[in-house]
Amino acid sequence: MNDLQTLRIPSTAAANDTDEWVDALADGSMGMHRLPSHLSADEQVTLRRQAMEKRRGVSLDHLGKYSLDAERATKQNCENMIGVAQVPIGVIGPLRLQGEFVEDEELHIPLATTEGALIASANRGCRAITAAGGAVVRAENIGITRAPVFRTSGIVQTRAFVRWIDEHEDEIRTELEKDSRFLRLFDIRPKAIGTTVYLRFRFDTGDAMGMNMATIACDRVIEKLIEPATGVECISLSGNYCCDKKPAAVNFLEGRGKSIHAEVVLDKQVLEKVLKTNARALAEVQYRKNLLGSAAAGSMGFNAHYANILAAMFIAAGQDPAQVVEGSMGITCIEPHGPEGVIASIDMPDCPVAAIGGGTALGTQRQVLDMLGIEVDPNRPGAAAMRLAEIVGGAVLAGELSLLAALTSRDLARAHERLGRSKQR
């Protein structure tokens, strides 16, 4: 634990060495990753930050206040580290959820955000869901995908290649799975266009998001088996048919990572008392905004703001924030139900999540996962990630309900004025 990073002089280095290193880093004559390895990670972080302060003539003291394990962070997460980004974390809840990995529980969910009004809004959604008796949540393990791209000599070789892959799936599976206790191949789906073939490998990766595991395994099977046996060259390990960190119809249609569903029935009283709306108005905003509006815009996000809740949860819980791009796709449904009530649901086909790996072991991120009861159980591989997916679904549903309700009452601008906008004009 160290909150005085900006004041630290590296202890194992003489003062003149320190000045020389800072100068060399600042003027670029020494690469940021070239500091002597006998310096601790914290010392290296301090020197790089001091060099940047010197070069830019700015203070970076806030970046230097951290408690995370810099050795781990610099080895696994962040090269050339100079400090940390501090994003405030607020909490929403209690949110009552009934899933297969969340057993009828009331949860508090930490969100990292700088968007005023987001947490207040999502919290109102939680109040509505909990007052209604809870939301039902489910997650499907679709699996992470990696699609290397190959070049053939023409369609004759393309067809032969695709056939070879099909006929040798067992051998390919054995090679892919042999170095990991957790990586399991679901299937391989080829996509051929002229002299180009994509092999979309889909993996169960246990509790990990799995992109590293999948990429390493694909690299090995291509080099050891596929290229030597077929003579077809792999041009790139990722061919964008994966499709990682880009919005893509293939992910929308086939799913990727976890496919998540959450649903709640809201009666007239909850709609009126908690969400300050009614069934007709809510269903109309859903139809004209989320469905028609998205269709008219050619958007794949038939929802109000999945990305808002996802980004805040992903940053707080050490997930890969770039995958919010994929997670932002999905369809929210609101239909009349019972006397003046609604049944509301969210459907997220593509949401990669991790309970291990990535940023999940870092200090604040691990504590956030602890708060959510996300703990990898060696006897139930994959269960912790599925639990996280179910919680994501519940939180996203809360965010949808509250924002859509705010839109029905034209309350959105007023809430932003009250909670989110800087008073400075």
- Binding site residues, ligand ADP, CB under 6 A: 180, 182, 205-213, 354, 356-358, 376, 381
Record the tokens describing residue 130, joined without a space: 């909990």
- What residue type is assigned to position 108 of the chain? H
10 or 206: CB nearest ligand ADP: 206
209 or 310: CB nearest ligand ADP: 209
Which helix (H) or strand (E) is 171 found in, with range?
helix 169-177
127 or 146: CB nearest ligand ADP: 146
**3-class DSSP state for residue 137?**
strand
Which residues, at least 6 apart from 105, have a Cβ–Cβ distance to it below 8 Å? 96, 97, 373
- 115 part of the active site: yes
DSSP conformation letters of 252-283: HHH-EEEEEEEEEEE-HHHHHHTTS--HHHHH
94 or 363: CB nearest ligand ADP: 363
Which helix (H) or strand (E) is 79 found in, with range?
none
Record the tokens describing residue 3, joined without a space: 């909150």
Angle at 159 between CA 154 and CA 160, to 5 degrees: 100
Evaluate whether 91 touches 108 at the Cβ level (below 8 Å). Answer: yes
- Answer positive or negative: Cα dihedral of 81, 82, 83, 87: negative
Angle at 69 between CA 374 and CA 182, to 5 degrees: 40
10 or 210: CB nearest ligand ADP: 210
DSSP conformation letters of 81-129: --------EEEEEEEEEE-SSS-SEEEEEEEE---TTHHHHHHHHHHHH
Least distance CB 318 / ligand ADP (angstroms)? 11
344 or 356: CB nearest ligand ADP: 356
- 320 part of the active site: yes
Least distance CB 212 / ligand ADP (angstroms)? 3
Least distance CB 215 / ligand ADP (angstroms)? 8
Least distance CB 125 / ligand ADP (angstroms)? 29
Among candidate residues 177, 227, 272, 416, the one labeled active-site is: 416
Residue with the two structure tokens 């601790």: 40
- 416 part of the active site: yes
Instruction: Please give the Cα distance from 31 to 25 (Å, whole number).
Output: 6
Least distance CB 180 / ligand ADP (angstroms)? 6
Least distance CB 37 / ligand ADP (angstroms)? 23
DSSP conformation letters of 198-212: EEEEEEE-TTB--HH
Among candidate residues 17, 23, 69, 115, the one labeled active-site is: 115
Which residues, at least 6 apart from 175, have a Cβ–Cβ distance to it below 8 Å? 220, 221, 224, 225
Least distance CB 385 / ligand ADP (angstroms)? 8
63 or 376: CB nearest ligand ADP: 376
75 or 163: CB nearest ligand ADP: 75
Among candidate residues 105, 320, 347, 400, the one labeled active-site is: 320
Least distance CB 324 / ligand ADP (angstroms)? 16
Angle at 127 between CA 124 and CA 129, to 5 degrees: 110
Catalytic residues: 115, 320, 416
